[in-house]
Structure 1
Amino acid sequence: MKNVFILFLSLIIFPNLSVGQIIENIDEITPYHEEFAAIRKGNTWAFINTNGEIVIDYRDDLVWATDIDPKSKKKILYKESVRYPAFYEGRCLIKKMIKGIYYYGYIDKSGKTVIEPEYVNATPFDKGYAVVLKISKEELGTNDLLLKKVVSYSYDEVVIDPTGNTKMYLQGPENLVLTKEKMKWRPTIESRLVSPNLVAIKTKDNGWQLRSMNASN
């Protein structure tokens, strides 16, 4: 009788131990990828596990495609290629706006940023790697009239590994005007990973070149 009373008392004091988590007011739930599904409230996303528990709380920096801004109901300029946030090979795309320009990076399944947002475009990881557009900065001199440094920007299309190290140079450099107005439409990524050891690179004449990942740069 004493054991029954203790069990009854524990169910009153600790009800959440026997009742699953309830998540309400969700606008969208996505298919599971690597045992994580994304759920959306307005313009923020969280990740749940297969038990329906939130494992990464709501945040507004996950990358997803939308034709309108849910707040303003106006068409947005930054059209993403990723339909919804998802983990691919343990990495999920994030973006960060700096001076009106979006930069892209990645988080891991704990929500920790493992590759800082520093690319002007990036793909999800596939076959062990991702293709990104990496910025280079060159100081050309000083404007004597304005007393300001003259800087030139460009980007290269490169392959990175899950830690952010460059595995292979693909093509570039391409000149880049790094201003909010010029970056309304970010540069596109043309290359595709065909296999863990092979990448397809789109050439200037709209043809394709196949290159081994083991080839020298």
Structure 2
Amino acid sequence: MRALTLMLVFLFCSVDSTSAQQLENIEKIGDFHEGLMAVSKNNSWGFIDSNGTLVIDFRKDIAATPEQSPIFSNGLCLIKEERENIFYYGYINTKGETLIPTEYIVATAFEHGFARVIKPYKTEVIGTNVLGKNIVSYSYHELIITTTNKMAMHIRGPHNLLYYKLKSQQDIPVIHSKFISSHLILVREDNDKFSILKIE
């Protein structure tokens, strides 16, 4: 009987040790949000669950700032992709799948089922340069989008967008809106006055 008990204890410990996951050399951690917490190493971010299991492997495209670690909100997390020296933002789900493509030049985490984003648009060809290449005019709009990437509200725009400055990380547009409740948006206008808008 004693031998059987010792064998069961040994088997339990063996299973427990092999199922445990150990994460080492972690440089930064976030906070648990919707059951997941961001962890960083080697300039990459991944996510663990409440058991310490790495559920989204470390990757370079998960977006973070010096002030804010990545989070999942409404089931989505910001990602970024650099193209021609410009960062574009989109969103992944908790499986690491891209649900909203990287098409925004500024984007926020989701709140109350909505995110605030700035989307660039190619507007028109306004001439040619000395090399005979088209000179294209760009603009941007500030939008509220849903978790399915549908536009819920147009906030501001169009405004001129200088791509050559954007490529040197200059004159990046700034979001002028913020949520003050689940369906109310406070918008700072160009005259420094404010408007309150309701998402229907």
TM bin, normalised by shorter chain, reads 0.7 to 0.9
Unaligned residue ranges in structure 1 (runs of 5+): 67-81
3-state DSSP class of the match of 1:89?
coil
CA contact (8 A) 1:132 1:158 kept: yes
Unaligned residue ranges in structure 2 (runs of 5+): none
Counterpart of 1:207 in structure 2 is 193
Aligned residues: 198
3-state DSSP class of the match of 1:195?
coil
Counterpart of 1:124 in structure 2 is 109
Aligned residue among 105, 109, 120 for 2:94: 109
Counterpart of 1:133 in structure 2 is 118
Q: Deviations over 1:51-100 (max 9, x none)?
A: 0000000011111122xxxxxxxxxxxxxxx5111111111111111000
3-state DSSP class of the match of 2:65?
coil
Deviation, 1:14, is: 5.6
Taking the TM superposition and a 5 Å limit, the aligned residue runs for 1:74-113 are 83-113=68-98
Counterpart of 1:162 in structure 2 is 147
Counterpart of 1:59 in structure 2 is 59
Counterpart of 2:50 in structure 1 is 50
Q: TM-score, normalised by structure 1?
A: 0.81
What do you get for the CA RMSD once the two structures are aligned?
Answer: 2.4
Distance in 2 (CA, whole Å) between partners of 1:185 and 1:150 is: 19
Counterpart of 2:29 in structure 1 is 29
Question: Cα gap change, 1:21/1:103 in structure 2, threshold over 3 Å: closer, same or farther?
Answer: same
Question: Cα gap change, 1:182/1:9 in structure 2, threshold over 3 Å: closer, same or farther?
Answer: closer
Q: Deviations over 1:90-119 (max 9, x none)?
A: 111111110001111111111111111111
Q: Deviations over 1:183-209 (max 9, x none)?
A: 335211110122232211111121210
1:192 matched to 2:183 = no
Distance in 2 (CA, whole Å) between partners of 1:124 and 1:99 is: 24
Distance in 2 (CA, whole Å) between partners of 1:132 and 1:98 is: 18
Deviation, 1:142, is: 4.6
User: What percent identity do the matched residue pairs reach?
Assistant: 35
Counterpart of 2:38 in structure 1 is 38
Distance in 2 (CA, whole Å) between partners of 1:91 and 1:189 is: 20
CA contact (8 A) 2:126 2:137 kept: no
CA contact (8 A) 1:105 1:115 kept: yes
Deviation, 1:172, is: 0.9
Deviation, 1:9, is: 8.7
CA contact (8 A) 2:85 2:168 kept: no
More displaced stretch, 140-149 vs 168-177: 140-149
More displaced stretch, 174-183 vs 153-162: 174-183
